[in-house]
């Protein structure tokens, strides 16, 4: 498995996902501004990975600090604010920043600056290790749920699964959230073929998920985002599973733009649709999906395809990066603690 992100000798290492799969470009930086830029430009991306990157970016900032202990609080506050402003939707970023702030709040008074920094470094590594472990737990819960829900089909044949965007190692550090479930399901002989929706405009499905599946030798086929309903009509999809960037208290889930259209089609065809996401993706402070901040990205991402202009530069464009799938369309939310089905308000609250 590739190392999508790591932190060694005060240096952040990551694979620049913008160039995949055609180029494997590894970057090493000690500059926290460069790391923030990597989050903004999607060189590093995917909700759990954004959280890990945020924690390490805070460490890069801290390591660049050369003032006195008295000067540190205001430096730290503006550093965290800068990191938090990089991308708005994936709550894992804010969750990771909050964990770093907690270590600061609890230790600043008592510790020397060196001891404080060492504790924060430990916290960042722990956030990373937790996300890796979360993937294994989610995969197990997800496969167990699929075995229950799709037992009838599994008596006679294997399953065809639809997924959207990239939720694998590149997005989560470990085996992945939705892709982790798919990987384990395939290892256990449940999967016939994975159908990866391309995920316009930045093609995380076509470029990144396909790349990860190819490396694992898992059978897959890529489709345009608009093909999924047609494949369902033809009986070519048995269920769908994706990740999430933020899940509200009632289970409404934000994920890569295009997800909601797949979910509506799956619901129409009476096929189960799952969200797989660690508890760090649940935002229990917001009651429903209308409160999830949705990132709007640069119009040129749509007007161009990898640098080639495909529409006039003045074409008006709406480029929302995420949409929100209402919880009634979701059969189950697979977390690292358990698979929540049924009453999401109660089920998700019980996890927190
Ligand atoms: O804009 P991106 O590539 O960061 O969006 C990523 C997604 O939408 C993923 O599906 C989501 O983060 C879940 S990854 C476990």
Residue-wise pLDDT for 78-124, tens only, equals 999 999 999 999 999 999 999 999 999 999 999 999 999 999 999 99
Residue 307: exposed, middle, or buried by beta-carbon count in 10 A (0-12, 13-18, 19+)?
Answer: exposed
Report pLDDT for 223. 98
Identify the CATH number of the domain defined by range 139-351.
3.40.50.10470
How many whole angstroms separate alpha carbon 21 and alpha carbon 2? Answer: 13
Residue to probe by mutation, ligand 1, list 54, 171, 207, 259, most atoms within 8 Å of CB: 171
Q: What is the pLDDT of residue 307?
A: 86
Nearest to 181 by CA among 213, 140, 128: 140
**Above 80 in pLDDT, residue 1?**
no
Catalytic residue among 245, 252, 323, 336: 245
Structural contact between residues 50 and 170, judged by C-beta atoms closer than 8 angstroms: no
CATH code reported for the domain at 5-131: 1.20.120.420
Query: What is the band of 137 on the pLDDT scale with cuts at 50, 70, 90?
Result: very high
Q: What are the helix and strand counts (H, E) for the chain?
A: 13, 16
Contacts of 204 (CB under 8 A, 6+ apart): 45, 165, 166, 256
Q: What's the CA-to-centroid distance between 155 and ligand 1, angstroms?
A: 33
* Domain coordinates in residue numbering, the chain: 5-131, 139-351
Using the mean position of ligand 1's atoms as its centre, give its distance from the Cα of residue 215 in Å.
20
Q: Is the pTM of this model over 0.95?
A: yes
- Does residue 245 carry a catalytic annotation? yes
Q: Give helix 113-149 / helix 178-187 axis angle, nearest 10°.
A: 50
């Amino acid at each position: 498995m590739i190392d999508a992100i790591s932190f060694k000798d005060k240096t952040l290492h990551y694979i620049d996902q913008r160039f995949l799969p055609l180029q494997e470009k590894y970057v090493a930086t000690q500059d926290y501004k460069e790391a923030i830029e990597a989050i903004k430009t999607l060189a590093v991306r995917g909700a759990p990975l954004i959280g890990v990157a945020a924690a390490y970016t805070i460490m890069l900032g801290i390591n660049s600090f050369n003032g006195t202990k008295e000067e540190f609080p205001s430096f730290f506050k503006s550093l965290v604010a800068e990191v938090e402003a990089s991308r708005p939707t994936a709550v894992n970023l804010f969750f990771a920043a909050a964990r770093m702030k907690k270590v600061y709040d609890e230790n600043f008074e008592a510790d020397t600056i060196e001891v404080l920094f060492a504790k924060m470094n430990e916290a960042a590594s722990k956030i990373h290790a937790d996300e890796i472990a979360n993937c294994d737990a989610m995969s197990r819960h997800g496969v167990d749920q699929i075995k229950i829900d799709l037992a009838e089909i599994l008596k006679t044949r294997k399953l065809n699964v639809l997924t959207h965007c990239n939720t694998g190692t590149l997005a989560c550090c470990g085996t992945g959230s939705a892709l982790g479930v798919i990987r384990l399901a395939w290892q256990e002989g449940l999967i016939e073929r994975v159908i990866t929706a391309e995920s316009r405009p930045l093609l995380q499905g076509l470029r990144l998920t396909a790349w990860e599946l190819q490396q694992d030798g898992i059978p897959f086929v890529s489709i345009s985002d608009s093909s999924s309903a047609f494949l369902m009509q033809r009986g070519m999809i048995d269920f769908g599973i994706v990740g999430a960037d933020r899940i509200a208290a009632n289970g409404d889930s934000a994920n890569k733009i295009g997800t909601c259209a797949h979910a509506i089609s799956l619901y129409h065809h009476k096929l189960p649709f799952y969200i797989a996401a660690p508890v760090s993706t649940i935002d229990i402070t917001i009651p429903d999906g209308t409160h999830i901040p949705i990132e709007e990205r640069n119009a040129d991402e749509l007007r161009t395809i990898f640098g080639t202009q495909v529409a006039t530069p003045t074409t008006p464009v709406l480029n929302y990066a995420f949409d929100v799938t209402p919880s009634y369309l979701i059969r189950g939310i697979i977390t690292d603690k358990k698979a929540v089905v049924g009453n999401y308000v109660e089920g998700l609250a019980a996890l927190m």
